[in-house]
Amino acid sequence: MASPILPGSGLGSGLDIGAIVTALVNADKSPKQTQIDNATKTNTLKISGVGTLKSALAAYQKAMTDLGSKTNPAFAGYTATSATPTTLTATSDNTAVSGTYSVVVNNLATGSKVASASFAGGAASAIPSGTLKISQNGTDYNVDIPANATLQTTRDAINKAQGVNGISANIVTDSSGASRLVISSNKTGAGSDLTVSGIAGLEIDGTKVMSATPTAGDSGSVGDVAKDAKLTIDGLAVTSKSNTVSGAISGLTMNLVEASPTAVKVSVDTNTKGLQASVQQFVDAFNTLKTTIDSLSKATTDEDGKLTVQAAFTGDSLPRTLIADIRAQLTTSSPGELGVLSQIGVMTDRDTGKLTLDATAFNKAMSQPGMTGQVQQLFSGTDDKNGLLARMSKAVDPYLKASADGKTTTGLLDQRMTILTNNTRSLTSQQLALDLRVANLTKTLTAKYNAMDLLVGQMKATASNITSFFSSLNAQQSAK
């Protein structure tokens, strides 16, 4: 918008009207503009602070989740090692005991795969409508076959209806063009053979093994019936419905990969060094979060050491509440003999509030029998809720929590961000209103002072005319 203030002095009065109007407008504008500028600066700082804190909490929660991973546990009290991982792998829990075992995998657990009689028409062969019943371990899984179905649409119907139950189907076509419906299950172990009934031409007895060169009308199990895994542990025979063998050796889980007549050496040892590294990672994650919270909470001085520079959350209770919620988990007893971190050398620095790990105290604690398993239980717990890692992650949830639909704001930080965003909109509206007021006031004052200048000019002209008149009159009288 072009300024209504005219530059230069008034022609009538000789006053600098532009300077006068600018001074008056700025005097009126200054208090509100200062208020808006300060509020905007503070609000922007808080928005940045909320974003930084949210990122720090997400990183901390991820660190807790990674340390508590079930597939790659960081706090395993014992380490299980297989000398031949191509035959079997092994993992241990906190109930394991150090030792060495000789394991022979005689055969793997297998699931059921069955094939129907062949259909000369291939995948397009017509299939009668009805209910196809697939039975396994005494449970029936029904699939509705509609009118005008083909072998291919029957396959698709099975996969759609029973994929969630681990049952899948496909079509195998031989060189003559004849096709068979092949159904398999991901369940393993003896007795899990599939039986199919209900639709003419698709009846299959999974307990019967098809010959290597089946006739067109043959149906049954492909290759062999479902079997248990068989292995020996130190010469003792063991069977398992699946290829994940738990409980055969206390605290040890073995994942069978392939059968082999050669014995595999499985060793279980304490994991002192690994635990120390994991405890240090835990300490580092906490300290990183604490550093971020401190930087967002504590005011600092400027470069000259005179003025106080406010942080995003200076004087705000949110960071104090957050760190108190997290610290509460450090002093809450966990299940087991090892209840608190101080028992393994993890202490709180009284000056900084950060955690420290005393390696000497840690190793001394680990020299006690069974202590590595207790450390695992302290951090991982006896279930998914009571371990220190799970409690730490849960303590952060109220600050980061999001609704299931992703639309509702439920986390405390998101709620705070919503308020700050609304403040931004309000400040923008206030600035627009102030700009409009300034423009209108400038226009009004300029018009008034221009009018005054015109009036003064007219008065000066009148005065000049009167002066000239009397001067002329005086001159005439003097001439006489």
pLDDT score for 3: 46
Please count the other Cβ atoms lying within 10 Å of the Cβ belonging to residue 115.
Answer: 23
pLDDT of 281 reads: 95
Q: Is the pTM of this model over 0.85?
A: no
CA 283 to chain centre: 21
pLDDT, residue 404, reads 55
The pLDDT assigned to 401 comes to: 82
pLDDT tens, 409-461? 578 888 888 888 899 999 999 999 999 998 998 888 888 877 887 787 777 77
Angle at 83 between CA 82 and CA 86, to 5 degrees: 80
pLDDT for residue 141: 96
Specify the pLDDT at position 144: 96
Query: Could you tell me what percentage of the chain is helix, strand and coil, using 3-state DSSP and rounding each to the nearest 5?
Result: 45, 25, 30
- In eight-state DSSP terms, residue 6 is P
Residues sharing a CB contact under 8 Å with residue 394, sequence separation 6 or more, in sequence order:
385
CA distance 72 to 66: 8
The dihedral formed by the CA atoms of 440, 442, 446 and 448, expressed in degrees to the nearest 10: 60
Least confident of 3-7, 15-19, 240-244, 435-439: 3-7
Best-predicted range by mean pLDDT among 29-43, 187-201, 332-346? 187-201
As a whole number, mean pLDDT of residues 68-89 equals: 89
pLDDT digits (tens, 9 = 90+) for 132-182: 999 999 999 999 999 999 999 999 999 999 999 999 999 999 888 899 999
Which of 392, 326, 378 has the alpha carbon at shortest distance from 354? 326
pLDDT of amino acid 4 = 47
Q: Could you give phi then psi for residue 220, rounded to 5 degrees? A: 145, -160
Q: Say how many CA atoms lie within 13 Å of 119 toward its Cβ.
A: 23
Confidence bin at 408 (pLDDT 50/70/90): low
Task: Determine how β-strand 355-357 pairs with β-strand 346-348.
Answer: antiparallel
- pLDDT value of position 307: 66
User: What pLDDT shows up at residue 405?
Assistant: 54
Residue among 146, 189, 144, 183 at smallest CA distance from 166: 183
Give the pLDDT score at 403: 57
Task: Locate 292 and state its tokens.
Answer: 């971020």
End-to-end C-alpha distance for the chain, whole angstroms: 64
CA proximity to 149, closest of 189, 104, 201? 201
* Number of helices and strands in the chain (H, E): 8, 22
Question: Measured in whole angstroms, how far is the alpha carbon of residue 22 from the centre of its chain?
Answer: 54
pLDDT tens digits, one per residue of 211-265 = 988 999 999 999 899 999 999 999 999 999 999 999 899 889 999 999 999 999 9
Distance CA 161, CA 114 (A): 18
Which tokens sit at 354? 């950060």
Mean of pLDDT over the chain: 88
Calculate the dihedral angle through the C-alpha atoms of 184, 188, 190, 194, rounding to the nearest 10 degrees.
Answer: -20
Spatial separation of the C-alpha atoms in residues 111 and 345, rounded to whole Å: 50
pLDDT of residue 7: 44
Q: For 347-396, how does the pLDDT look when each residue is reduced to its tens digit (9 = 90+)?
A: 999 999 999 999 999 999 998 888 888 888 889 888 888 889 999 999 99
Pick the more confident residue, 398 or 478: 398
- pLDDT, tens digit (0-9, with 9 covering 90-100), for 309-349: 788 888 888 888 999 999 999 888 777 777 788 899 999 99
| φ/ψ of residue 223, rounded to 5 | 80, -65
